A and B are shown apart, each in its own frame.
Chain A
Amino acid sequence: MNAEAVPIAPYIAPVEKTVHVACAPARAFEVFTAEIARWWPLATHTVFTGRSVRCVLTPRRGGEIFEETADGEHAAWGRVTEWEPPSRVAFLWWPGGTEETAGDVVVTFAREGNGTRVTLVQSGWQRLVEAAAKARESYDEGWGVVFGERFAQACG
């Protein structure tokens, strides 16, 4: 049996969440992306727990996603990889980690009744897990700071 062939997928399947919002897809898309700072839970869902004053999703393909403290400390969260307003945005996602550990997040916006069905799928755990393996090889507890500890503690 080739150990390398055992995939991670059965253990960490994609996370999929949907939400219905009572506004048009174009508005939902705008709020989710360009206006992320208006709703993102900065008090809990950040790398610099409670210290960040804003977060930004730069509204274009290749745009950076990051948070910032009042002192100008900057933590990258990811980068936009697909930009198709008003129906779809995708980004690499690595809050608390590095691009090497990034997951893939795809958010789609579809008209549903008078509102919009927003579907978010996070996949690509392979990179995170591989980075964990590398960190483990190079130093015993090094992985702690990556995604796991800093972000998870902030959010947990």
Chain B
Amino acid sequence: MAAYDKTLQALADPTRRAVLERLRQGPRPVGDVAEGLPVSRPAVSQHLKVLKDAGLVTEDRQGTRRVYRVEPRALLELRAYLEGFWTDALDAFRREAEKPVKSKRKRRKP
């Protein structure tokens, strides 16, 4: 689940969330992403690299330009994991809750 850690780490930084927010409005090169953000362009490049490593954005090369876009897969995977966690637990809960109470009483003491 290393990918899961990376996703959270990537989202942990508010500047990176700002970068992601910009890319949600559409694919763009680093210069456009940096515009209006209170950090330097090299810093934005660094943030884009972290987001890319976490699978949250992808990079297309168009000639000498690199264009970044949001890749929703990493977030979908994180959600799938979190939802799956409770789905499994609640299934087990339902099976137990639906057992006849009589047999439960017997086994109640550890």
Q: Is the CB of A6 within 8 A of B18?
A: yes
Number of B residues contacting the other chain (C-beta, 8 Å)? 44
* Chain A residues in 8 Å Cβ range of B88: 41, 44-45
Which of A2, A17, A31, A143 is within 8 Å of B8, CB to CB? A143
Q: Binding site of B, secondary structure by majority: helix, strand, loop or mixed?
A: helix
Q: Are A136 and B89 closer than 8 Å at their CB atoms?
A: no
Does B17 lie within 8 Å of A3, measured CB to CB? yes
The interface size of chain A toward B, counting residues with CB under 8 Å, comes to: 47
Taking a contact as CB atoms under 8 Å apart, the answer to whether A6 and B21 are in contact is yes
Digit string of B97-110 for contact with A (CB within 8 Å is 1, else 0)? Answer: 11001001001101
In the complex the two chains form, is A143's CB within 8 Å of B93's CB? no
A16-44 contacts to B, CB under 8 A, are 17, 19-23, 27-28, 31-32, 35, 38-41, 44
- What residues of chain B have their CB less than 8 Å away from a CB belonging to chain A? 1-2, 4-5, 8-9, 11-15, 17-18, 20-21, 36-39, 75, 78-79, 81-83, 85-98, 101, 104, 107-108, 110
Extra pairs beyond A3-B38, A3-B39, A11-B11 (15, CB < 8 Å): A6-B20, A6-B21, A11-B75, A12-B78, A12-B79, A15-B83, A21-B97, A31-B93, A39-B93, A40-B92, A41-B92, A133-B9, A136-B9, A149-B1, A152-B81
